[in-house]
Chains A and B, each alone.
Chain A
Amino acid sequence: MYPLFVTGIAQLVFPAKANGSLILKDTKLIGSVLIGQQFDSAIYFSSRPSAISYNPLPSGASNSGPTNLKLKTAFYDRKSDFIRVNLLDSLTEIPAEMLFASASGLDPHITPRAALLQVERIAAARGLSSVQKDMVNKEIKKLTEKPQFSIFGEERINVLNLNIVLDKISATDHLQN
């Protein structure tokens, strides 16, 4: 009885959230705000590494211990990849979440710094104008979520939301040009 009762209230008061915070685009489901997606292409902001490649059935992590050789190899591979793909200086400090896999394998967030480091590469891949690039940088600022109620959690940015906005920026300016 109890789960039914709770479902009733939740569906009544928070229907969107209780159903998985889904995002619709032209009547097609493109994802959930809460669930991260894999972005391999150079034209999108990358998500964090995931032990399950963002396939939620089932969710999970690498569970590698702190002295695991496989983890060490993966870590240094990710580091050199991130530097190479984003054309960064080899001494640039890379945010840790881009080098380590998340707990759920579905982490939807990265830090704003990790997003900023990817802007140049995306602008080059999409052929964005400097105006558009500024817009992207502004969107990163706008979409950055501060700690909740200024107390709880960490500063972060939702990769899927950012990429949806990125598509819009590319599209609208394309029409204006």
Chain B
Amino acid sequence: MTTLDYIQIIVFFSVLTGLTPILGNFMYKVFTGQKHFMLPVLGWLEKLTYRFSGINTLKESDWKSYTFSLLLFNFSGFVFLFLIQLFQSYLPLNPANLPDVSWHSAFNTAVSFMTNTNWQGYAGETTLSYFVQMIGLTVQNFVSASTGLAVILALIRGLSNKSSEKLGNFWVDLTRSTLYVLLPLSILLSVTLAGQGVVQNFKTYDTVQTLEGTEQILPMGPAASQIAVKQLGTNGGGFFNANSSHPFENPTPFSNFLEMLAILLIPAAFTFTYGKMVGSVKQGWTIFTAMLIMLLAGLSISLYAEYQANPIFGNHALMEGKETRFGITNSVLWATSTTAASNGSVNAMHDSLSPVSGMIAMINIMLGEIIFGGVGAGMYGMIIFVILTVFIAGLMVGRTPEYLGKKIQAFEVQMAIIAVLLPNLVILVFSAWASVTHQGLSSLNDTGPHGLSEILYAYSSAAGNNGSAFAGLNANTVFYNLTLGIGMLIGRFGVIIPVLAIAGSLGKKMITPTSSGTFRTDNWLFIGLLISVILIVGGLTYFPALSLGPVVEHILMNQNITF
């Protein structure tokens, strides 16, 4: 690595940390209904939305009706997206005359975009029309991220309520997240990206005659607007097949920097919002620090591994599946960020990363994407681990566990365990199933231990709602489209529902005032405990599977063995 590589990494994390309190404070104002500078600009649109859809903004709901609204909204989004794919050839804005999508691929994509996974089972430029990309995918990019924010907002209200069942209004949270947070940031980012060369038009595909006289057809479309929100909303589903390695999606190193920053921006800033909303900024920074430490640890290991020579290829830098303009450092920094957050966009092909770097990406996802994590989703996933940590620490010192003055009891811990175990179950059971059946194995691109890694990565990505892939696996088959789709549903709602149940149960409890006997949750000791619990509970589950995949591959690679 050169000095410039280190500088790029330092600049990246400095800007991220610097923007955290600024955006965090803005989101605090938005979500607590205070005055903020976007209100005069977009306030009319918020009011119009409520009037148009007949929402009573004053009505707050308990956890059951909040969950019901959320599920209803997501289900209708799914049905709509499923149908417009099935009938895209009859719909407008299809200049490339793309045919209707197959039912299983449409199911997979609809589930995937509703659950904020944005797994790319399809190749954008040869599968989906501009209409589906815009009206279907872009819209779900916004609202699936807003759904994540709505869940964490309900959880925060549960934590800070004084004996009340009310968790707020789902429709208000959804509208405000979309209008004031995602929309302005997306407009700003998409216009900047267009200035770097990302395409944004409604033209038919251009045909050019290359210098050597062959024909090359250049796909076009409204890409910048979708890419901005795919990055900001931790979505990750690309406009083109090659995702953010495609020069039309990510043309320059600066566009790369902005897109990378956008991956972590909202999740990082939300830790600050969280701190303010629960009444102690320090609580927010504690969680931010724990997340940052884990991210940097993963990044260091991954960079070290990727810069090591692979004996199979002599001393050459490993540029397979990487772009010249980004090089190794920016590719690894992206790979680590996109899997830590539940983004899943890529600027280099994860399948071709060195075994250890690929494993770090997988571990980031398997831990539940709580290292900053998805918009909203990373934060509520982290609170699950905070609850477990408080519980375990409480058991060790023999005191009733409390978090922010709320007693943590059997029900909360049961729900937290369900939220941690369900995604684990999906990953291990489905991977095992795919590894022993013909439908599972016939899709592999690589054999040997790397084949197992491809399968394991796919189900981790689905259950963690990440969406990135070891893309050698041909996942556009009935078997994978269905099992991955089901995995995404369990990974999303198998966490959201327990989280909302916890919010409902905590909301009803009284807040115990802090005393000298209270277990502190805003110091370095707690950060250490939290990270240990995450690694033990989240990490050890996968140790056996990882040893058979990337670990074995690493050892064989060093012995110059190929498959």
Contact = CB atoms under 8 A, between A and B. Distances in A.
B64 interface: no
Given A56-B125, A69-B562, A38 B210 contact: yes
Given A20-B199, A66-B352, A97-B319, A41 B256 contact: no
Most-contacted residue by chain B among A3, A29, A97, A164 (CB, 10 A): A3
B313 to A, nearest CB: 6
B43 interface: no
A174 to B, nearest CB: 17
A71 B246 CA distance: 21
A7 B222 contact: yes
Given A67-B561, A152-B257, A37 B472 contact: no
A152 B258 CA distance: 11
B337 interface: no
Contacts of A29: 206-209
B361 to A, nearest CB: 13
A39 B211 contact: yes
Given A58-B123, A58-B240, A153-B330, A103 B208 contact: no
Contacts of A94: 316
Contacts of A11: 200-201
B114 to A, nearest CB: 19
B369 interface: no
B214 to A, nearest CB: 7
B312 A67 contact: yes
B248 A20 contact: yes
Interface in B447-469: 448-450, 453-454
Most-contacted residue by chain A among B125, B195, B211, B313 (CB, 10 A): B211
Interface in B198-256: 198-203, 205-212, 214, 216-220, 222, 224-226, 228, 240-242, 245-248, 251-254, 256
A101 B450 contact: no
Contacts of A160: 211
Interface string A69-90: 1011001000000000000000
B106 to A, nearest CB: 18
B4 interface: yes
A33 B348 CA distance: 20
Interface in A22-43: 22, 28-41
B248 A34 contact: yes
Contacts of A105: 242
Interface string B1-23: 00010011001000000000000
B247 A10 contact: no
Contacts of A167: 211
A67 B351 contact: no
B560 to A, nearest CB: 9
B190 A6 contact: yes
B563 A69 contact: yes
Contacts of B191: 6, 9-10, 13
Contacts of A102: 245, 319, 321-324
Given A35-B216, A65-B446, A111 B324 contact: yes
B194 interface: yes
Interface string B47-84: 00000000000000000000000000000000000000
B554 to A, nearest CB: 9
Interface in B311-356: 312-313, 316-327, 330-331, 346-349, 351-355
A31 B248 contact: no
A91 to B, nearest CB: 12
Contact of B126 (A30, A57, A108): A57
B541 interface: no
B412 interface: no
Contacts of A96: 316-319
A104 B209 contact: no
A133 interface: no
A171 to B, nearest CB: 13
Nearest to B214: A38
Nearest to B203: A19
A63 B346 CA distance: 13
B218 A67 contact: no
A153 B322 contact: no
Given A21-B197, A37-B210, A65-B351, A57 B324 contact: no
B8 A106 contact: no
Interface string B275-299: 0000000000000000000000000
B124 interface: yes
Contacts of B553: 65-67
Nearest to B189: A6
A54 B218 CA distance: 10
Interface string B170-194: 0000000000000100110011001
B450 A151 contact: no
A32 B201 CA distance: 15
Contacts of A57: 125-126, 205, 217, 219
B533 interface: no
A103 B216 contact: no
Interface of B: 4, 7-8, 11, 123-126, 134, 138, 183, 186-187, 190-191, 194-203, 205-212, 214, 216-220, 222, 224-226, 228, 240-242, 245-248, 251-254, 256-257, 310, 312-313, 316-327, 330-331, 346-349, 351-355, 445-446, 448-450, 453-454, 470-472, 553, 556-557, 561-563
23 contacts: A2-B183, A2-B225, A3-B226, A6-B224, A14-B194, A17-B197, A30-B211, A32-B218, A33-B197, A34-B248, A35-B218, A40-B212, A56-B216, A56-B218, A59-B125, A62-B352, A62-B472, A63-B472, A64-B351, A67-B448, A100-B320, A102-B322, A102-B323
Given A61-B471, A101-B320, 13 more contacts: A2-B138, A2-B187, A39-B211, A58-B123, A60-B242, A61-B349, A67-B563, A104-B247, A109-B323, A109-B325, A148-B253, A149-B254, A153-B326
Closest 3 CB pairs of A and B: A153-B253, A103-B245, A63-B472
